[in-house]
Amino acid sequence: MSVRVRFAPSPTGALHIGGVRTALYNYLIAKKNNGTFILRIEDTDQGRFVHGAEEYVREALKWCGIEPTEGQGYQGVHAPYRQSERKDLYSIFIRKLIENGQAYYAFDTESELEHMRDRLANEGVPAPKYDSTVRLIMKNSLSLDSEATKAWLESGKPYVIRLLVRPGEQVSFYDTIRGEVSFNTSELDDKVLIKADGMPTYHFANVVDDHLMEISHVIRGEEWISSTGHHLLLYQAFGWSHPEFAHLPLIMRPDGKGKLSKRDGAKFGIPVFPLSWNGASPEESFIGFKEYGFEPEATLNFLAFLGWNPGTEQEIFSLDELVKAFDISRVHLGGARFDIDKAKWFNQQYIRQMSINEIRAKLTPILNEQNRNITDQKLDSIIKLFQERIHLIKEIPEQAAYLFAEVEAVDTDALKKQWKPELKDKIIAYTSELAKLNSFESQALEHFAKEKLKDFNLKPGEVFPIFRLALAGSLHGPTVFQMLEILQGEGLERIKKRINHFSSII
């Protein structure tokens, strides 16, 4: 049987990064087995539909580089791939269940359902539900005669269709990650299959579509394990074989306390979506991995390791390498902690592998937004200097601000420790001597500068920290000579100008 997997998000908002990981694992399984990766939009809950969410999903998958080969927005023989457009098809299959006695009409109002749950709770039932213990005392086609049922259906009053779950049976499946999983049907409710608006619930549409689209493997989050019992009953009711299941572990918050949610992005100051999302309010708007500064390849590499390990020491994988190495059976059972520092480490490794031209192409739009005008030659020199130091490309103009423009602020605490007023004139004279050097190549400049110290009876510790403070405003960053190589004569003039003002700063 050919491998066919699907990623089936609901268009209820931005795609969570956990959903991207699910999509990635499905993509890897498909590619490794020369199979098909399908995008299906599960929009049966029309009340939660959010405009633009479907387009967001496709753009996110495209940015990540894991586009489907079939599905909504792509070609395919099983169209339509948007569930709201498959309503007539679901009607055909629900009728089969009703005719076979596997499903029934339920006419209970919301107040009647609430009354039933309250009564059971008062009787000490721990989890009140609509099941075999109550169905015959509720208002449905099992408790009413055929005439009453027909009259209700013809009246136009709302009703739902429920799955008939027979108690006392065992249903089980083998989870590729978790092993054998079993359910006793006495613990399952008579799940609603068709809602009062005529739309199918997730459970019903999911099973019908997976069968019709010939899905071979269902790879989804562990929150769906509890629903799988009902899905198995539906497969049995139709006489269909079910796909292989694999339920992925949760992605945990950075502190390891609970599942990572969209709110955690704002709380921890981290991206939890692939692309930025502008919601109806500031509270519903979030920055994405892309806008935060992550490379798509690094993002996928990071996500692949959130719950999976190749069994080797290798951590940096191209997408093709992930396809070859990925094994769903090596996915962990326990939740994976979302470590943004590890994500930045992955990004750093990819930046180090990039060419200067690639980095410049990504950096130039950022500089244009900041109105920083700089020649390509100077920019390339800055990139070479900081490529090994940064985790995100956008950090270059932040960390190298003093190379783009003169820095006004100086670390006065550091200056107080380093500044010796009595050496001011001697250091300025020494600086003027450095300006006579024809080459500002950092190694040549460093050799000349250190040799020239002897002529002025100066020590490196008396001069170079002052130079660094004059150029960068702090004692952090690359060497003084690397800075001067980029700034050329402008740097020495900046040093002399700053030294003349250091006494007044202190």
**Other CB atoms within 10 Å distance of the CB of residue 240:** 14
CA dihedral 296, 301, 307, 308 (to 10 degrees): 140
- What's the rounded Cα separation, in Å, for the pair 384 and 26? 38
Q: Please name which of 81, 304, 319, 104 lies closest in space to residue 212, comparing C-alpha atoms.
A: 81
Length of the chain: 506
CA distance 11 to 43: 6
Bridge partners of 246?
219
The residue from 32, 262, 424, 452 that is catalytic is 262
Q: For residue 262, indicate whether it is catalytic.
A: yes
Is 362 within 8 Å of 387 (Cβ atoms)? no
Nearest 5°: the CA angle 264, 302, 81 is 80
DSSP 71: E
3-state secondary structure of 373: coil
Alpha-carbon distance of 194 to 234, in angstroms, equals: 13
Give the C-alpha separation, 177 to 11, whole Å.
28
The residue type found at 309 is N
- For the CA atoms of 392, 394, 398, 400, the dihedral, rounded to the nearest 10 degrees, stands at 80
The DSSP code for 165 is P
Residue 7: what are its φ and ψ, rounded to 5°?
A: -110, 125
* Tokens coding 33: 């087995």
Task: Give the DSSP letter string of 451-500.
Answer: HHGGGGT--HHHHHHHHHHHHHSSS-SS-HHHHHHHHTHHHHHHHHHHHH
Residue 59 in contact with residue 288, Cβ under 8 Å?
Answer: no
DSSP per position, 100-159: TTSEEEE---HHHHHHHHHHHHHTT-SS--SSTTTGGGSSBTTTS-HHHHHHHHHHT---
Q: Any idea which residues carry the catalytic annotation?
A: 262
